[in-house]
Structure 1
Amino acid sequence: MSRIHEALKKAEQERAGMERPADATPEDYLEPGALHRPVESMVPAVETPLAAPALTFDLLQARCRKVSWTPDARINLFGAVRGSDGRARSGTEEFRTLRSRLYQMREKQPMRTLLVTSALPAEGKTIVAANLAQVIVRQHERRALLIDADLRWSRLHLNFGTTMKPGLSDYLMGDADELSVVQRGPFENLFLIPGGSHVANPAELISSGRMEQLLRRMAPLFDWVILDSPPAVPVSDASLLADMCDGVLLVVRSAQTPYDMAQRACQEFKEKHLVGVVLNDVEPEDGYSSYYYQYYRGRSGVNGKGKE
C-alpha cells in the first residue's frame, strides 16, 4: 500500500489546475426533490425463501434475455476490435494481472461478489468493472455476472450498447423477476443486469432486502459477480452494497481525486473487505502499469492513454 500512498500524494500535487471531465458530479447523485417523494409504497416486501424456486444456471440461460449488444470499442478492451497493428489493445495485460491478483486473494479468503466503486464520480470505476468482467470470462468456462448497481447514474448499458430496462431497479421494486432482468450478449459466459428504470429512492431499494436476496441466489451460479456502484463519498449506496459483498475494489484517479477524499473512501471500506485500490491515469514515468482510458479523457478534450 506504500506505492498507493505515494501515488495518491503525487496525484494530489498534480491535481491543481486540471479541469474535471464533463461527467457526473456529486450533485447529480442528489436529485432535487428526490427526498420528498414517498418511499414506503415503492419498496416491495422481500420474498420468503420458500416462495423462490431453486435457481440453476440452465434455468438462467433459458429465461434470461438474449440481446444483441453493440459494445463501445473505445472502452471495452476485449471485443473484436484490436490495435492498428493487429495486436491486443493497450491495457489488456494490466487487466489480466488484476484478474490474477484477485484469484490469488481468493485462495486465502472466500470471494465471489466484488464491489467496484470510487471516491467521486468520473474516476473510471464503470470501465474497470466492465473490463474486469470481460477478462474473467476469457478464461475457459469462467462465468461472470456484471450488475449495474449505480441506480443514480447507470452507465453500463451504454458501455455494452444495450437497453437499460428492465434492470436492477425494476427487480428491486418488484416490477420484474430476477431472471427477466438478466441479459446475455455476444460475450460467452458474460451476463449483465443493467440499472433499470429511474428511481428516486435508490438507497431504500438497495437496503430493502431484495438486493441481498438477488446476490445470494445469483452468486452460486457464477465464478464472479461484479457490481458497479455509485461513488462512495456523495451517497451511502456503496457502503450499503459493500456490506453484501465479499470484497471491495476502490478506483482512484490520479491528478483528479483529492487526497483527502481517497483517504476518506479507504477508511469507509477499511472494515468492509477492501481488497485493493486501482490507481487510474498515472503517468508512465511514475513506474506504474497503464490501461486504456481514452474514453473519459476524450470527453474532457484530452486524447491518449490512461493509467492503472
Structure 2
Amino acid sequence: MSRIHEALKRAEMERAAQQAQSETSVSARFESTAVPFERATPAAEAPATEPAPLTLETLLERCPQGEWHPDPKTMLFLQPHSHSAGTEEFRTLRARLYKVREKHPLKTLLITSALPAEGKSFVAANLAQVFVRQHERRVLLIDADLRWSRLHLSLGTNLYPGLSDYLRGDADLFSIVQRSPQGNLFFIPGGRSASNPNELLINGRLRELLQQMAPLFDWIVIDSPPAIPVSDAALLAGLADGVLLVVRAAQTPFDLAQKVRQEFRDKPLLGAVLNCVPPAASYGSYYQYRYPQNGKRKD
C-alpha cells in the first residue's frame, strides 16, 4: 500500500510541475506578443478650434449691396431735404452719444420703450441713418424685436432670412446681413415668426454674432421689444453698452416710464428720447427755420 501511495503522490507532483510549466509558457507567449496601448483623446477633450475672425473684406464680398425702397415718411434722412423737423434732434442725440463715448466704451446701443407704438423703431432707424451720414462710418442696424419686426418696412427691404432664422440655426451669418445701396449701412431683419423668441435671444448665438461684428462697425443699433409687456429688452440690455428709452410725448404714462427705469437700474441706461413732440415746442423747428429746404448744410 505504501508503494501505491508513493506512486500516486509522485504522479501528482509530476502533473503539478507540468501544469506550472504550461502556464509559464502561455504567460510568456502573451507577454511577448502584447502591443503597447495608448489612451485615445476623447472628442470632448480635444482642443477646440475657434473660428477665424470675420474681416470686413469677407463681409463686403459675401453681402453685396441690395435694392431698398425706404419709406420717406419714417426715414427722415433719406428724404430729398434732410433738414426737416426732427432731423436736428437726431444730430443733437448723435453729438451727445459721442460725448458719452469720450468717457465710457459705447458702441452697441439698445433702443426700447415702455409700451408698443411709442416710436422705438423710428428712433432706431433714424439714429442709424444719422450715424452713417458721417464720413466713413459703418453702422449695423439689427431688428431684435422678434415678436413684431417692423424695421424692414421702413427700409423697404426683405424680412427674412433674418435674426430669428440665424438664432434657430436655419441660416448663416452672411445670408441674413443686408447692405444698403449707400454701402455703409448694414441691416439684419427680424426674420421668420418665432414661437419662442425669449429662448432664442438667450441661446448664446446673438452674443457670438455681436462679438464677431463689433470690430467691423463704428456703431451697432439694436431695436428691441418694449420693456413692460415682455422681458426680451432686459435680456438684450445685457448685451449692449448703452440703452435708450423712447418716451412718446403726452402718451407714455409717467409711472410706466419710471417702472422701466427701475427695472433697468442695473443696466447701462443712458437716458430717454422724447418722441412726437409738437413742432412748435421742438428744437428742430428752430433749425428748420435756420436751414430752409433749398439750403445746404454738411453733417
TM-score normalised to structure 1 length: 0.74
**Partner of residue 64, structure 1:** 63
**Partner of residue 55, structure 1:** 54
Q: How many Å separate the matches in 1 of 2:229 and 2:55?
A: 37
Indicate conservation of the 8 Å contact 2:88/2:284, yes or no.
Answer: no
Does residue 200 (structure 1) correspond to residue 183 (structure 2)? The answer is no
**After the TM superposition, which parts of structure 1 deviate over 4 Å for at least 4 consecutive aligned residues?**
none
Q: How many Å separate the matches in 2 of 1:233 and 1:50?
A: 41
**Partner of residue 103, structure 1:** 98
1:13-53 deviations in Å (ceiling 9; x for gaps): xxxxxxxxxxxxxxxxxxxxxxxxxxxxxxxxxxx983533
Out of 235, 239, 245, which is 1:240 matched to?
235
Q: 1:290 to 1:159 in 2, by over 3 A?
A: same
- Where 1:78 maps in the other structure, the secondary structure is helix
**Partner of residue 108, structure 2:** 113
Unaligned 5+ runs, structure 1: 1-47, 292-308
1:227-273 deviations in Å (ceiling 9; x for gaps): 00000000010000000110001000011111111111111222200
Indicate conservation of the 8 Å contact 1:75/1:127, yes or no.
Answer: yes
| Matched length | 239
Rg larger for: 2
Q: How many Å separate the matches in 2 of 1:263 and 1:132?
A: 24
1:154-175 deviations in Å (ceiling 9; x for gaps): 0000001100111000110011
Deviation at 1:80, TM superposition (A): 4.2
**Partner of residue 264, structure 2:** 269
**Partner of residue 128, structure 1:** 123
Q: 1:63 to 1:49 in 2, by over 3 A?
A: farther
Q: How many Å separate the matches in 2 of 1:49 and 1:214?
A: 18
Q: 1:89 to 1:186 in 2, by over 3 A?
A: farther
Deviation at 1:66, TM superposition (A): 2.9
- The within-5 A match list for 1:20-59 is 50-59=49-58
Out of 147, 163, 178, which is 1:152 matched to?
147
Q: How many Å separate the matches in 2 of 1:49 and 1:279?
A: 47
Q: How many Å separate the matches in 2 of 1:49 and 1:77?
A: 47
**Partner of residue 250, structure 1:** 245
Percent identical residues = 61
- The within-5 A match list for 1:186-225 is 186-225=181-220
| Larger relative contact order, structure 1 or 2 (CA cutoff 8 Å, min sep 6) | 1
- Where 1:179 maps in the other structure, the secondary structure is helix
Indicate conservation of the 8 Å contact 1:113/1:247, yes or no.
Answer: yes
Indicate conservation of the 8 Å contact 1:73/1:81, yes or no.
Answer: no
Q: Which structure's residues are more often helix, by fraction? A: 2
CA RMSD of aligned residues (A): 1.7
Q: Which moved more, 1:113-122 or 1:181-190?
A: 181-190
Out of 174, 177, 185, which is 1:182 matched to?
177
Deviation at 1:89, TM superposition (A): 2.2
TM-score normalised to structure 2 length: 0.77
**Partner of residue 74, structure 2:** 75
